[in-house]
Structure 1
Amino acid sequence: MTTQQPSTGQPDSQQPDIDTRIQDLLVRAEIAEDLLVMEVDVAGTAAQLWQAITDPARLAQWSPVVPDRVLHSVGPALSRENPEDDPVTADVLATAGDHALTHRWGEATVAWVVDDGQVDLQITLPDVQQAQYFAAGWHVCLAVLDAQHSGEEQARIVGMDALDHGWDALRVSYAEEFGHPVGPAPGEDA
């Protein structure tokens, strides 16, 4: 499993800005066939992290997945990154207590496991070459979640806004780590 964490040399006594937090977030990531596996240490208790991945109001503060219902039970759900967006399926496929959840996200399937201070994701991808995009996006989002659970007022960073916060450099780095060709950035021809 590879790890993304460049050093910035920022003293511990200062709260890092979000770009520094994104750059410094320790993310262990690997590809296993069509599966992107990410492990991230983030601030928060298991209960706080469970709420962060299941409650639409909390998801709307940090995640691109904003469902139309709480994701704590198996059944249909729809998700929109932004209220005006067309919905994508977010059907809950499985849950295990208050620590594991599997749901669809459009053509992908996202499995979450949370524990005190840790989030593990397994994303089944429709095309494994998309891993660089998914990894970079979730890396940014999880840094926002970490900032919020560390007591900082940090707005959600999703979609094209992530480009202003190091998303493209992360995408290139993940592509190289996964041994994939670097794909086009948003707005570039494939």
Structure 2
Amino acid sequence: MPSPDIDTRIRELPVRAEIAEGTLILEVDIAGTEQQLWDAITDPEHLARWSPVVPDRPLTEVGPALSRENPDEDPVTADVLATAGQHALTHRWGEATMGWLIEEGRLDIQVSLPELEQAQYFAAGWQVCLAVLDAQLSGLDQPRIVGMEAMEHGWEELRARYAEQFGHPDGQTPTA
């Protein structure tokens, strides 16, 4: 059964977000052990439960990979650029580059974007997804929330908040 308070969890997830040197940086305190977090960011089966990045192979070794948010969509590049043990991963996600660092109960994520004004959209979307992951790692049976479904769970309010925080023009809300 899904958590009845996922919208509250999304809204209140302790995400620290900033833009530094042209990169979106997200830091979030999240449930789970280092091993659980590593599996959550590298294993396709785990990623398919919470993330829009669902690769065609584990993201544990450098090399080419493709990702689909949903099985019937065209793939985007998810090439693994670097790994360091089971605590750091850098991979492409389409035109963006995602860097993940796991430190005892915290994920640090660096997103290099082709256009920095996109940071408001990425920050809002990842906050929704990370709240789902946090719920799952806390033992709740919370389904994945990605794409347009995120609009029903406070995404627009998060996007507007991040747009203001980052000093970006208030962007357009996506439509299906």
- TM value normalised by structure 1: 0.90
* 2:170 corresponds to: 182
Are 2:11 and 1:49 equivalent residues in the alignment?
no
Tell me the amino acid that sits aligned with residue 167 of structure 2. Answer: G
* Higher Cα Rg, which structure: 1
* 1:156 corresponds to: 144
Runs of at least 4 residues of structure 1 off by over 3 A? none
* 1:94 corresponds to: 82
Take 1:115 and 1:144, find their aligned partners in 2: how far apart are those partners? 19
Q: Indicate conservation of the 8 Å contact 1:31/1:37, yes or no.
A: yes
* 2:131 corresponds to: 143
Take 2:11 and 2:66, find their aligned partners in 1: how far apart are those partners? 31
* 1:32 corresponds to: 20
Equivalenced residue count is: 174
* 2:108 corresponds to: 120
Identity %: 70
Tell me the amino acid that sits aligned with residue 86 of structure 1. Answer: D
Tell me the amino acid that sits aligned with residue 140 of structure 1. Answer: V
Give the SS at the match of 1:109. strand
Gaps of 5+ in 1: 1-14
Are 2:155 and 1:171 equivalent residues in the alignment?
no
* 2:65 corresponds to: 77
**More deviation in 152-161 or 15-24?**
15-24
Give the SS at the match of 1:61. helix
Take 1:16 and 1:142, find their aligned partners in 2: how far apart are those partners? 17
Gaps of 5+ in 2: none
Are 2:86 and 1:60 equivalent residues in the alignment?
no
Alpha-carbon offset, residue 117 of structure 1: 1.1
RMSD: 1.1
Take 1:68 and 1:83, find their aligned partners in 2: how far apart are those partners? 10
- TM value normalised by structure 2: 0.97
Take 1:61 and 1:77, find their aligned partners in 2: how far apart are those partners? 19
Give the SS at the match of 2:32. coil
Take 1:158 and 1:187, find their aligned partners in 2: how far apart are those partners? 14
Higher helix share goes to which structure? 2
Q: Which has the higher contact order (CA 8 A, sep 6+)?
A: 2
Alpha-carbon offset, residue 187 of structure 1: 2.4
